[in-house]
Each structure stands twice: as C-alpha cells, then as structure tokens.
Structure 1
Amino acid sequence: MENNDKNIILIGMPGSGKTTIGELISQKRNMKFCDIDHYIEEKEGQSIPEIFKDYGEVYFRKLETSAVEAVSKYKGYVLSSGGGVIKFPRNMEVLRQSGIIIFINRSVEDIISDVETEGRPLLKDGKEKIYNLYDERISLYRRYCDYEVANDGSLEATVKKIIEIVKNTFY
C-alpha cells in the first residue's frame, strides 16, 4: 500500500456489514483492522449491551467519542464504526481527518432478513426499530461520507467496489 498513513473508515447501519467488509478489505489491502465497538468492549471489560444496560446510551456515546479520538490516531487502518457514530459531529470531524469515510448502505429489508438483534441494544425492541433508525440516520450517513457504496450483492463485490474507490482516491 503506497499511502499507508490514511485510514479507511466504514460507517453505516447496524447489520450493514461494516465489520465483515472491513476485515475483508484489511486482508486484501494488507492493512490493520479495528472495530471501534470491539475496541470499547476491550477497554471497558464489558460488552456494548452490558454498558448500555449498566450506564445507558449517553455514557456509551462518551466512550465512543473517546474511542474515536484514540483510533483516529492510527495510520493505515480499516476502521469499522458503530452505527450511531454519526450522531455526534465531533466524531465525524475527527474521523474525517484520518482518512476516507465510506458509507455502506444496505437495504433495511436485507438487514432485517439476517440481523441478530440480541447483541444490539438499540434494536432490542424488535426489528421494526431498524426502519426508525434508518430514517433518523440516513441523511447523517450521507452528509458525512466521502463515498456511498451499496451492499446489495455479494460481499466480494462490495469489497471490490470499496477497494477501487480507495485506489482512485489515494493512489
């Protein structure tokens, strides 16, 4: 990789494929990978659902902002964000400074068909909540991304689209 100081940041809805796609991109591009939610869990010694249950969403969002500030200092990473990272402009300003932001847009119907709501605190009220979240967040995802990529085919096809964007942007 020629420009290895830039990060590839993936944003999108819960269940859009950010983590899986991010891991595949990191393998194909020989980059390191960091899932910001996993980073928070390791640092806190608790799962995201436990953090939400014990301390609430406001506390979690503060942890998320701290995590974004920490991982944005990484260089040459693929970063997978939590679905709500876009709720705070500060998060997106910090992420934008570290690389290219790709919005992985997957249809709500596809998300509902295979998302597991058990480990997702904001979806615990049922899969119909995904429609509400999508409506609330779609304009923010689009505002903050540099590129939007539809995850509407195979994972390989989506990864290939993102890698092409990155090549054409950085290299």
Structure 2
Amino acid sequence: MKNLILIGMPGCGKSTIGKLAAMKLGIPFVDVDEYIENKYDAKVSEIFEKKGEKFFRDLESTCIKELSEKTDLVISTGGGSVLREENMINLKANGVIMFIDRSPEDIISDVDIASRPLLAQGSERIYTLYNERINLYTKYCDHHITNNSSIDTVVNTLLLQYIVKK
C-alpha cells in the first residue's frame, strides 16, 4: 500500500491528523522531525541553532528518502520539506500527498510558537512562511484538505481521498 504523506505549515495539524489516520488504517505513523531527532539524537531546534537551516534540510532530505522507500506508513513531514523538490519526488514515488491547509490565524491562535524553530522570531512570521510556501504545497499535493472543522471530519475526509487516490 502506498504511504499517506501529510504536508503543510507548522501547526496545521499534520501530526494529530496523521496519528488518527494511522490508527484508523492500522499502519504505523512517522513524524519526520521525530525520526530525525531519534536518528541523530538531537532536537530539531538544537540542530537549527547549532548547525543552521541548510544542515537541517540536508538531514531532512536523507530521512525523507529513507522513509519514502518504505510502504504502509502515514508520514507527517516538516513544514519546510516542500522547499526541496527532491523530497517531494521521493515521497510521491511511493505515496499519496495530502496538503493539510489551515489558516495562519488559526495556527497562531493555538500553537506554541516558541517550540517551532522557524517561528521563534514571532507569530507574524507564520504569514510570511505561508505566503512563501502555499504555491509549493498546492503544486505537490494530490489532494488539498482544509483543516477548519472537527478533527474527526478532517481525518475522515483525508481517508476518503487517500483511498480514492491510492
């Protein structure tokens, strides 16, 4: 079975939605950021702080390639994974890519911005990132899901689209 890949902004709900979808499908859930942290024994925020974004993106691409070669996974990517076309090519080769879209206002209203390296500069940064990335999210996705209702509704919509696309 093809992997179910979730892309979208930090705080859009990828991990929460991904865990529920994986549970309903009876397959493992993998968060790419957690995968990186476990593999390299370092927090994403530490990697950003000590080595910089480019170094982190290199690690992210390596891990995405590894995960994309597996099957039967729900994979939640980091918000910036779309910045490298190679990541999307690797993920699409064995997966169905779903863009979880959530408004910047909703993200700001309930996400701990301080725990997100690229948002540490303040909540207004979310608008900049959204505007920079929205075209990439829509370009690479197989289906666009708006996260503006209950989690159960979003998960059920996602699963219906996944079953149709796989």
TM-score range, shorter chain: over 0.9
What SS does the corresponding residue of 1:92 show, helix, strand or coil? helix
Distance in structure 2 (CA, Å) of the matches to 1:86 and 1:167: 23
Aligned partner of 2:29 in structure 1 is 33
Residue ranges of structure 1 left out of the alignment (5+ in a row): none
**Taking structure 2 as the reference length, what is the TM-score of the superposition?**
0.98
Aligned 1:1-171 pairs, distance under 5 A: 4=1, 6-170=2-166
Q: After the TM superposition, which segments of 4 or more aligned residues of structure 1 sit over 2 Å from their partners? A: none
Q: Give deviations 1:83-137, integer Å, cap 9, x for gaps.
A: 0000000000000001100000001110010111122110000000000000000
Partner amino acid, structure 1, of 2:53? E
Once the 2 structures are TM-superposed, how far is the Cα of residue 38 of structure 1 from its aligned partner?
0.4
Q: Give deviations 1:133-155, integer Å, cap 9, x for gaps.
A: 00000000000000000000011
Q: Give deviations 1:12-65, integer Å, cap 9, x for gaps.
A: 000000011000000011111100110000011110000001100000000000
* Root mean square deviation, CA, Å: 0.6
Distance in structure 2 (CA, Å) of the matches to 1:123 and 1:28: 31
Distance in structure 2 (CA, Å) of the matches to 1:159 and 1:40: 25
Distance in structure 1 (CA, Å) of the matches to 2:58 and 2:162: 30
Aligned pair count? 166
Residue ranges of structure 2 left out of the alignment (5+ in a row): none
